[in-house]
Structure 1
């Protein structure tokens, strides 16, 4: 029996969502892509919300090091959006009602589905025909499907067709393999070791990631590592020195400085904020 394609996004997994208890309020879901488009699509995800009048949620996120194409409806800024990873945690203000269907791309994906350079989009930018005709047309066709499950099915078919038109090059496959290696081991890794694991030179690895992700391996590894710190802290782990050791930091101070630089707070302050938030949620009617 095939595994279900759709499942709820758990607050205990590595998403980079700060205060992930909010995920339940957004009806957040992962939708698995078809096997034959996984070189292009990392995952589809969908969220839907309907907040009370006057209610606002300031949701903060440490991005996954990837680019995302999204279809948005309701109280949103634009119908189609392209998003790249930010250098620091960012905040999205959620109010009213709306829904989002998103395609999180693999490193190889942008060159298949778009004519954009990975370094050209801003952190979040409306995707218009003037910006990128190819990707805009793709999202418009997917948006015509009535719900997330059928949007994923239509996306699979359209991505499959574009992959046949633009098959992957060697550098795209190297970039995919490098991100897989970094994601599987979210601790401090030396770039030469990552290159060796992928079976390429350090220079080729650097060039492949810069070309297809717009970032180098060190920056990508740091983002994945901080997402893992968020996951462990959010799951109730409070032994910050142990987390630092497990993830290969020199000491707790290095973890604290790294986390504060991106998240804007220390790990201890983040944990305190989670406790306060959970108490507030328990007090909701």
Structure 2
């Protein structure tokens, strides 16, 4: 059990050293097409290295009830005012349907009751925010992998995209709508769930009601809230600004593995 942790520590140390060497040239790198391409290739290297060194099904650490944070602060959207979302919230999400489509053989439309009847998992895990804070909570939700199997992914599907009900930024091109994406390795990870409960209570609006992603080996901005639709795609270049997520379109790394 200790080997993956030691390898992960070695990997983090190596990547941190490489990152430190690059900081001095950061402005030059990000202001050129060649620099952006270099950063993207480095991110790919990080992902491949971590996948090589760490078991793909290795679990993120799980905690006890005694470890649950008394104050798990919400961030990002905490009460979306998008008309469609407000209409669902007003009725207590009774009319909510999760759509799973894209490159699938059998598109699905699932109510919250349908989701609660699917194979589920409960886990107490730590949420690590890119802003530098962490909190621990208990999450219960439908496992994503079995849902994708039920929909039947087509061979060309490589990524899973989460379309959300909140707009973080008003933009003329519509790229302010929150979305996120993960690859099939993370989608089928045992701890990747669509959470509908938090700390044994119905998921609060501030934390993403009625449904949010928990992909526990990724940083907090990957944990998409207010999920309305899940789409299987071959690539994500046609979505948003083409980088695979709302924050990724604004400079964050697509792969946020921890």
TM-score, normalisation: structure 2: 0.23
TM-score, normalisation: structure 1: 0.22
- Name the structure where helix makes up a greater proportion of residues: 1
